[in-house]
Amino acid sequence: MLPSQCLCTNLRRAARGVSRFYDGALDGFGINVAQYSLLSNLQRLDQPSISSLAEAMGLDRSTLGRNLRVLEGEGLVRLSEGEDQRNRIVQLTKEGQQRLLAALPAWEAAQQRLIDRLGAEKRETLLALLNELS
């Protein structure tokens, strides 16, 4: 791996490594880290509109739409019309809730392994820096 002083290069490299780590932890649950995050946000927000879900996740609507179509095809989410026909509501299905619940211990174990590797102080520093950048 070529060393670089570029923040963007290093952040993207780290993000890919962390994503591979979490994807490995979720192997066998039929979802990847992006899908797990989406399902978790759906559970937390309780039937958000596509727009509010995209905003909460920091995604554009088209990227979110592509991800939602995959999860809808697998029966993990359901899209329905909102009060305003221009806005659709996203719901976590029972199957989606079950998949999220089944994957939670693996996700938590992966979280703990990274926290153990960084240490609590570095974790807090990293979170603060990432929040500042986002």
The CATH number for 115's domain is 1.10.10.10
Predicted pLDDT at 87 = 77
Taking the C-alpha atoms of residue 132 and residue 124, their distance in angstroms, rounded to an integer, is 12
Q: Which domain holds residue 66?
A: 33-129
pLDDT in tens, the chain (134 residues): 677 889 999 999 999 999 999 999 999 999 999 999 999 999 999 899 998 999 999 999 889 989 999 999 999 999 988 776 667 899 999 999 999 999 999 999 999 999 999 999 999 999 999 999 88
Residue 113 tokens, joined: 């392994």
Q: Is residue 102 part of a domain?
A: yes
The Cα–Cα gap between 15 and 133 comes to 14
Q: Is residue 55 part of a domain?
A: yes
Q: Is residue 97 part of a domain?
A: yes
Residue 134 lies in a domain: no
Task: Please report the pLDDT score of residue 19 as a whole number.
Answer: 96
> Which pLDDT belongs to residue 85?
62
